[in-house]
Structure 1
Amino acid sequence: MSAQENYVGVGGWTAYHELTPKDHAVFKEALEGFVGVQYTPETVATQVVAGTNYRYHAKAQQPGSPAIWAAIVEIYAPLKGKPHITQIIRI
């Protein structure tokens, strides 16, 4: 998908797409120190607001458990400051 095809405009969500190095960095920073469940992002949709909202489709697994499930990890990255988790939804 080209950048033009993925562009929605300010306020709209992009389609889910492969993660860029920046998407990976935001995910890693927001989940730094998070314990209990390990999340591995697979695709992401973004929304430009006063900062950026990220909606990661991820695989989730508790350490030591063979069970794997899907989840949506929502992260807000402000213009200044550290990105943080806004919600996690098991799907």
Structure 2
Amino acid sequence: MSEARTTIAGGWSPFEAPTAEEKLILKEALLGLLGVDYLPIAVSKQVVNGMNYRFISKATVVYPGAKPYLVEIFVHVPPGGKPELKNIKNVTKDLPETAFLSLGGWSDWHPLTPGEKVIFHLATKDILGVVYDPIEVRTQVVAGMNLEFKAVAHPVVPHSEPYDVIVSIFQPLDGAPYVESITKVNN
């Protein structure tokens, strides 16, 4: 990412795709933890005495057939110090069992988790002329993750009527999510 990120002292920055440096900070903070693979999807930062990082990550227990889930990982880096793991919080514990199916299958439609909201925001933040309000999502684990969001499109043109859409987003294993298509739903 080439543009400078802005962070307000004491407040959390907006979620962004993690840089290579931020991925290394997370990797160093997780050293010694075994049994779960963590793939960072987004990061938010907070300037304190050093820097706090809040990562949304896909977590997969290391055993055959394990289902991925989303976690929020909190890391603190003191001035001149090494990254310290502070907390790992499961953000998908309230999802239905079908939210993450085996490789290739689609989940049922479900309310967005915090991690899915971040993915939607990262993929659509640069779209001009229309504001999208996601309502539900379904996911498909592939080499990465496909996500389909039911959303309401609100054109920013005066006197325009909102309309329903399906926003298809791909979250690669490594890198930022992106919109693959936006399809108007005929009611």
Fold agreement, TM-score > 0.5: yes
In the other structure, the counterpart of 2:118 is 25
Q: Which residue of 1 aligns with 2:169?
A: 75
State whether structure 2 residue 97 is matched by structure 1 residue 4. Answer: yes
Following superposition, the deviation at residue 35 of structure 1 comes to: 0.5
Stretch deviating more after TM superposition (58-67 or 27-36): 58-67
Corresponding letter in the other structure for 2:183: I
Instruction: Please give the per-residue CA displacement for 1:14-57, whole angstroms capped at 9, x wherever unaligned.
Output: 01100000000000000121102111000000000000000000
Identity %: 34
Q: CA deviation at 1:6?
A: 3.6
Moved over 4 A (4+): none
Residue type at the aligned position of 1:20: T
**Residues 111 and 137 in structure 2, CA contact (< 8 A), matched pair in contact too:** yes
**Other-structure match for 1:89:** 183
Shift of 1:68: 1.1
Instruction: Measure, in 1, the Cα distance between the counterparts of 2:135 and 2:169.
Output: 15
Equivalences, count: 91
Partners of 2:117 and 2:163 in 1: how far apart? Answer: 20
Q: 2:171 touches 2:177 (CA, 8 Å); kept in 1? A: yes
* Mapped contact 2:98–2:108 kept (Cα < 8 A): no
Q: Distance in 2 between matches of 1:45 and 1:28?
A: 16
Equivalent residue for 1:49? 142
Change (3 A) 1:75 1:7: closer
Supply the distance in 1 between the matched residues of 2:134 and 2:147 (Cα, whole angstroms).
11
Higher RCO (C-alpha 8 Å, min separation 6): 1
Matches of 1:59 and 1:40, distance apart in 2: 5
Structure 1 residues 2-11 or 80-89, which shifts more? 2-11
- CA 7–56 in structure 1, closer or farther in 2 if over 3 Å, else same: same
Instruction: Measure how far apart 1:5 and its partner are.
Output: 4.1
**Structure 2 unaligned blocks of 5 or more:** 1-93
Residue 2 of structure 1: how far off its partner (Å): 5.2
CA RMSD across the alignment: 1.5
